[in-house]
Structures are given as C-alpha cells and as structure tokens.
Chains A and B, each alone.
Chain A
Amino acid sequence: MSLKDLISPFYVWQRAFEKPYTQKRPIEDRPGAPRYRGFHMNSEECIGCGTCESICQNHAIDMVPVEGLEQRAGDSGLRPRFDYGRCCWCALCVDICTTRSLHLSNHYAWVTEDPDAFHFTAGTDAMPWNQNSLGYRRDDDYHLLVHDRVEMQALSAEESVAGFDEVMRGYTEEEAVLEADRCVECGICVATCPAHMAIPDYIRTVRKGDYEAGLRLLYETNPFSSTCGRICTHRCETVCVMGYQGDPIAIRWLKRAIVDRVPQEKYREILGDEVEENGKTVGVIGAGPGGMSAAYYLRRQGYAVTVYEAQARAGGMLRYGVPSYRLPDNQLDKDLEYIRSLGVEMRFNTQVGRDIPFTQLLDEHDALFLAVGLNQPSALRIAGEEHPRVLSGLRVLDDVASGKDPGVGKRVAVIGGGNVAMDAARVSRRLGAEVDVLYRRRIEDMPADPEEIRESQAEGCTLVPQAIPVEIRNASDSNQVTIVWGEAEMVADDKGGRPRPVLQEDRMHEETYDCIIAAIGQGGQIDFIPAEFRDRIEFKWNKFVPGDYQQTGLEKLFVGGDIANSRADAISAIEDGHHAARGIHRFLSGALDG
C-alpha cells in the first residue's frame, strides 16, 4: 500500500461542483435532435398505398378509411393509423414510404389522460407535433426500393423506320424478374385499370417465374393479354406509386413478359378448353376487342356465340388501326385464335344493316352485344377538303394493314395528335415520306401515348404544335395539295377543361404537300338500329349510355367498347365486353331484370 493510493482518491473533490447534466423534465423542455425518431406525421401527398403497413414488423399500422377525404384516382382513400402500444419507432415506414409523405417528428414526450389517444391517424388527427419541421426524414441517398425501370430493348429509330418489324423487343427473363421485383404490391393500379386486372398478383408470378399461373391470372379479366401487353394505354402505370420518386413499374411490359413465355400450343392445356353448353345463344356485333372479349367470357359460360363482323378478319381497330410495328399480326392472332378455339362462330364480311338486318339478330339470339367501335373518321369540314390528295388516317392505316399501298407520296402533312395521327405519320415515314404533324394544341396536350409521340419524333416526324388548318387549296402541281394553317394561342378553359386553341388570324402559313392525312377524330355509325327502338335507347352526343352491366333500355341489347365509353381504348372495350358477358349471363338466368 502506497501513500499515493491513500491520497489520490481525494481528487474526487475536483468535480464536486460540476452541474448535473440531467434534465429536469417536465420543468425543462428538451427537444429531440433534428433527426430524432418521435411521433409520426403524414402529409397530404399520402395516397394510402399501405406500403408502411406491409413493412411494419410490429403490425402497429392499420390502413383505415378517413372521413371527409376527397376521392381521387390513384388514392385508396385509406390512411395509416398508428398504435403506439406496438410501434418501436424504427421508422421503416418512413424509409419505405412511396410518396415520402410519412415522417417522424422530433417530438417524443406526450402526456395525456386518454389512453386511446395513442392510437391515431397521422396527418389527419390533430396532434401537437403536426407542425414540427424537425424529425426523422429519409436521406435522399438512402433507398429501400428500386426507383429505376429496367428499360426494354428496342429497335433504334433507323432500324424501326426501315420496316414494319416490332419496335419493342420484349424483356429477357432476367430483365422481367428485375422489373417485377420493383413492385411494392400495393394494388393502387387495380382500381385504375379499366379491367381491374390482378396486377400485383401477375407481377408476382413473373418474379417467381411461374408464367402458367400468370397466364391464368391474366385471362381472368383479359383475353387480349398478348395485345394489351404491347399496346395498352396502361392507365395503371400513371397511378403506380413507384412513379412518385422514380419510374412507375412497366406493368404493360410485364404482362407481355408472361405471354411471350407461353407458346400458343399450351394455351388450351393451361387455360382449359372444355365448355359446357347451356343451350342459349348470344350474338355479338363487331369482332374488335370488346366483342371478342364478350364472346370469350360468354363462351366460357356455355353460350353459343356468333360474332358478326363487317371486315374479312377479326380484331377491329387492333388489326386495321394499329400498325404491326406496335402490334404484330401474329400476336393479335395468338389472342384471337384461343378465343375462336373454344367454339365461337365467326361470320365475316357480314355488316349488320347491310348484309343482315338488326331485327333478325334480335330475333335469332337470346341476347345481343354490340361493340361496333368508332370507325367513321371525322371530316375536316374546312374549305377545299374534297381535294383528292386529302386522305383519312384510318384509311391509310387500313390500307397498310391490308397490304395495299396508300400512296402517300414523298412529303406528308398529318393533321391531328392522337394515336391514329401518330401511326399515320410513322407509317408514312416507313413508306419513305417526310412527315409534318400539324396539331392544334401543344405537344403535352396530345392525346396520343407519350411513347408514340417520343418514338414518332425519334423516327424523324416533325411535330408542328399549335397549328390550326383553315383551308385546303389546289397546288400548282395537280398531284400536290396546299394547306393554309394559322398559329394558335392557348386560352385557359373557364370550366377547368384542357386549354383551348384560338386561331391568330394575323399569323397564317401556307405549305404544299404530296398529301394531307386527316386524323382529327372518329365517330360511330349505328344507323342500322331501326327507328322503332330509338326511344328505348339512351344516347349522349355520339355514344350509347348503357345502364348497369352495359344493358340498354332494349333489354336484349348490351353495348360496349368505343361506342359506349368515353375512354375509347382497347382495355376499356375488353372490360365492357367482360362486364356485358356477366350482365348477359345474369339477364338470361333471370337475375337481372330489364
């Protein structure tokens, strides 16, 4: 024992007068660090995808309906409710939040007499920390999800203009799995898809490599999966939650990835081909996606189905309006063949009204489904329109699909900004023409699919936005035509619609082309319905207004497709067909009264 060891401990007095570091809660307030993980906050960006609920390892989060929440597309209407008896403040919910609406405040101490108060809906219920600007946020460089889409191999612009080969080449198996892996399986897309396809479920089959199960899921709601896997307007992707911080899941391409991996010969084996006849008969007018979809689901339920089609082949707009570089014929046939193989009777070259009266169909069948589509191009109705070098976009596409040369010449003006206009322009490029696309509004207003716009530009089409055609004149060369167009100013619409173009009469231009292709819109043609029925059928503008299950006031008549919905795309027609098939089945089994 040394003397030092006796004296040294007295050094303890050195720190005797130090102030304590302990906080005197609740007299003193001590805010958490700026990154502190305290109580939850949720902002208006939340769309209720429920990914927080999925990742919470304590099941502390329930997605609950919130009263007074405005209904909007791509929003489940649910919001996360937190149970602080379970929460462990790990903030995985914040890290995974697809919209980055969820945060934690740095507020960590809260005293209340009401035990139920610790079970609240963040952002909706008024909480003392709702205005906190501090607290845990996900770092910008930290991700638990994959934000970049796996791009699909595509032909280069030079390769694609050289012919009619399919531009998009499809995913490899590996690419498909990687893309499918990005899905958070929230299901927000399902509500937006017109056909309400089981999107997260079939994406999971891609991830698991179980394409047969995938095909079965696709056919539950959509017998045009090969087609839709290529040309669907994919509204689902516009609401995909992955789109908030990165690229939405390539849902359309993943659908294609399933179909591409199942050979046609296996369809009957996987999906079944047995039909139990029920002795009733249904007529379908129009062999487009709507009609054939109805035919498929009706046939599955045992109805004898006859499809009446004015053209020589089935497919409707998919065949005559969509060029093969977007949808190759054999892919459309893959879908149609399987439907026909179930025993659907096809009557081609049979136009109702011309070749067979509507009333005869009404008498022969127990029910009718009408989906004749919009096949009458709108006229320009400007002076000089009757010039022989003014063609319609639909006619050009129809000619190309039927193997005829539409004779567009070397320099073409396309009028319009929809998919028909883009396709007419791209087809003209492939036929060797230089193409200007005149459109009355801005490029961002174009109703065509964004990728069609992008690809048409890549392929060398010149887009001329805010150009209003006012007159067509004879050119000095009789094989040419001159168009007069004026520049447009966009004015806001008072009622909240898209901005409208107004002609500026002092800024006019003149240009001469080999031909002008008008593709400004289409209307329908249903004059074959006799006047005696007209009072029982409701119309608005140029469309049918069907009731529940697509039924009209003429009880045996169900309608669908472009002629009966405002969306006018394939997937909506397919859903109309499916919906009508269910309606017809209920109607004929007495469950649906007229």
Chain B
Amino acid sequence: MFEPNPPIDLSSGKYLKLWQGPQHPGITGNMSLELITRGDEVVDCKTHVGYLHRGFEKLMERRTFIQNFPVVCRIAVPEPTFNEYLYAAVVEELTGIESPPRAEWIRTLNLELMRLASYLMWLGGIGAAFGQSTVYQWTVTHRDYILDLFEEMTGARIYHMYIVPGGVRGRLPEGFEDRCRDVLNRVEKLLHDVEKVLFNNVVFKTRTKGLGHIPKEMVDPYGITGPNQRAAGFSRDLRKDAPYLVYDQLEFDLITATESDTYARSWVRYLEMHEGIRMLRQCLDRMPQDGPFQAKMPNVLHWEVPAGETYIKAECTRGEYGYYMVTDGSEYLRRVHVRGPSYTHAIALMEKLAVGTNIADIAGLMVSLHTYPPEIER
C-alpha cells in the first residue's frame, strides 16, 4: 500500500498511455490523470496538478486584512463560504475580536446551506459519472434554489463575500426564514427521490460497490478526512470533536459506514445531507432575531494585526479545511497556508485507488473522493 506502483515497461507494447484531463468537462476538470492501461484496465496512474494555480496565498501577502476577504472565497469555487469563515476566524483569533452570537448563528446557517448546496452538486456529479444525468439535472436545479437564498442573503450567488472578520455583513432579509424552510422541504423531498432513482439502482450499486476501496489502515497515513474517512469506519468530525461556531448547541448524528468503497462514501454523504437539513432547521428556529451581527472593529483601512500565528480548522464537505496564518504586527499578513482536503485526496490517494480499476470508472472514482481542483492549488 505504501510502496510505489511497480515500474511499467511502456515499450513492451502491452500498455497504452492515456491522459484524462486537464480539459475534462466534468467536476474533476482542471487536473489531469496520466493513466497507463492494459486493455480497459488501469495499471498505473500519475496525478498532475498546476493547471489552476492562481497564487492566492501569495496574493494575500500583498493585501490588507480587509482586502483579503473578497479574495479567499475564490480558493474553492463551489464552496467559498468555508474559506470566508476560516479566514475570518483566523483574523479574529489573532486580533482578539469576538464575533457576536447572532453572527455565529448566521455563520453556521451559511456554512450548512453551503454544505447542502455543495453536496447537491456532488450528488449530481456522482449520478452523472455513472450514467444518471437526470439526477444531475434535479440536484443542480435544487442547488439553484439554495443559490437564490444566498443571493438574497449575501448579494451574490457564488462568491458570497458575506462572512467578514468581526461578524457578517448584514442581517437576514425579511421573510428569509420561511423561504429557506420551503427550500429545505423541497430538497428533502428530492433526496427521497434520488434515493429511489440512484441508490436503489442496480446499475449504480453494481458499479460502485467495491470500487475504490480505501483500507482502514490507509486513512491516517494518507491524511484522509471527512466523509471519505467516515465511510471507512472512523467516527471523526470536527463539528463534534472540536466544535466551533454553534455546533455544540445543535443536535445531529455522525454518519459512518464500514465498506469504504464508492457506494459507502456516497451513502454517507447522502445521509449527511439529511443531517444538514436537520441542523439548518434548528438554526432557523433558534437563532437570535436581534442584537449586533458585527463586533466593534478598528478602522479597517490601516488595520494592524498583532504578531502571532495560528491554525484554525473546520469540517467542510470534503473533510478538514484549515487556515494557518503568521502575522508580524504590520498591516499585512506574513504568511498564510490553506490546508484543503482535496490536496491529499486528489493527488496521492487517487494514484493508489486508480490501479486495478476500469477506465470507465475513473471519473466516478474521482467524484467519489469529492475533490475540488481549485482548492488543491491555492
């Protein structure tokens, strides 16, 4: 498991080298897999990244602390909110600013809505990868309903730029709670339909069961987190193990499985969507209706953050997402490092899991790891 794949003699004429990506038109695009195949069996895989490198970590060193908050959301396109939250949390920790309780609830609502939207897109992805593109149409439509909610809450559908150091940027719009509940009901109903169409589908079951098995002992050495880890039988979740925001006040169950294959990972995510809806309903019912949503801030134009360093992590859809930041007391940060789960999952793990699979299953396997290439390359 930890040894390199055995060397392959390409000149033997038994093998074919096949590139998948980087122009792959799916959710797995923007990175590429260099596959060595024998027939339609994959015998070796090398992962290549670097096609989407925008240098965010470096860009952030040249911007003031307030100027960075519109930057960070771009690090993970389908899931910007986790970046916004973690950046805010890191700056708040280093400055000693505490965001008020109302903001903490709104942030939690935001993160869970984001998780639901992100999972919906993934759910479509896994369906499409195994020939169920109807599911993709359904889920992306429902994701649009959630993006509508984001649009009215934050002013934008994708790059919300809503969670800022100190709190959030505005109160919830009038009547938002009702519209949000309505969307949750619709998504819940959809999930039941998807269960019938996708998870109880003989084709899906046959193709995904046993595909991309991650042995339990591989999990920690490969830094596997999130649903990929929980599907391998680990009950670990930062929302339970190191609660942040208001997660310690919410009731939700930790979903695990033991089979650790593509089906198990998909099923864990499916059940987590239900847990997410449960948490969102609690947020809507219990969040404070008034009070400040922003801490008292200094003048952000020349905001000097005291010298220090910190690492803050949160559970995103793919696992542990973390921000490490070093400051030197100036108006600019000294160094920031973003730890995204896609990095570990998509590069090292994929090379191992691909060996022995079928070419037709490669896309589905990648989706089952739920990686976002923009987040691999900060």
Contact = CB atoms under 8 A, between A and B. Distances in A.
**Do chains A and B interact in one complex?**
yes
Report which residue of B69, B152, B155 has the largest number of chain A beta carbons within 10 angstroms of its beta carbon.
B155
Interface string B177-208: 00000000000000001001110111101100
A528 interface: no
B171 A35 contact: no
Contact of B200 (A4, A183, A184): A4
Contacts of A504: none
Contacts of B367: none
Interface residues of A, number: 45
B294 interface: yes
A352 to B, nearest CB: 50
Contact of A33 (B151, B293, B294): B151
A20 B193 CA distance: 17
B300 A36 contact: no
Contacts of A144: 66, 297, 299-301
Contact of B299 (A57, A90, A145): A145
B134 interface: yes
Given A92-B70, A143-B297, A11 B196 contact: yes
A209 interface: no
Contact of B152 (A4, A21, A34, A139): A34
A181 B200 contact: no
B154 to A, nearest CB: 7
B319 to A, nearest CB: 28
A92 B70 CA distance: 9
B163 to A, nearest CB: 12
A296 B297 CA distance: 43
Nearest to B59: A57
Interface of A is mostly: loop
B156 A89 contact: yes
Contacts of A96: 300-301
B196 A37 contact: no
A1 interface: yes
Report which residue of A104, A181, A207 has the largest number of chain B beta carbons within 10 angstroms of its beta carbon.
A181
B161 A91 contact: yes
Contacts of A182: 299
B297 A5 contact: no
Nearest to B301: A184
Report which residue of B148, B151, B198 has the largest number of chain A beta carbons within 10 angstroms of its beta carbon.
B151
B26 interface: no
A184 B299 contact: yes
B297 A6 contact: no
Report which residue of B156, B170, B173, B205 has the largest number of chain A beta carbons within 10 angstroms of its beta carbon.
B156
A55 interface: yes
Contact of A15 (B64, B193, B203, B302): B193
Report which residue of B154, B203, B298, B300 has the largest number of chain A beta carbons within 10 angstroms of its beta carbon.
B300
Interface residues of B, number: 46
Contacts of B197: 8-9, 11-12
Given A5-B205, A34-B152, A146-B297, A57 B302 contact: no
A136 interface: yes
A32 interface: yes
B361 interface: no
Interface string B125-140: 0000000001000100
A51 interface: yes
B159 interface: yes
A90 B161 contact: yes
B347 interface: no
Contacts of B206: 1
A139 B299 contact: no
Interface in A34-55: 34-37, 51, 54-55
Nearest to A148: B296
A270 interface: no
Contact of B294 (A36, A92, A142, A184): A142
A54 B205 contact: no
B200 A8 contact: yes
A91 B155 CA distance: 10
A29 interface: no
A95 to B, nearest CB: 7
Given A35-B154, A181-B302, A15 B294 contact: no
A92 B151 CA distance: 17
B300 A88 contact: no
10 contacts: A8-B201, A35-B154, A35-B155, A57-B70, A88-B159, A139-B169, A144-B66, A144-B297, A182-B299, A207-B302
Given A57-B67, A185-B302, 18 more contacts: A1-B205, A8-B201, A9-B200, A9-B202, A11-B193, A20-B141, A21-B145, A22-B141, A33-B152, A35-B170, A35-B173, A36-B155, A37-B156, A89-B159, A91-B155, A96-B300, A142-B169, A146-B297
Which 8 interchain pairs have the tightest Cβ spacing? A90-B70, A57-B67, A8-B200, A33-B152, A139-B170, A5-B202, A37-B155, A11-B196
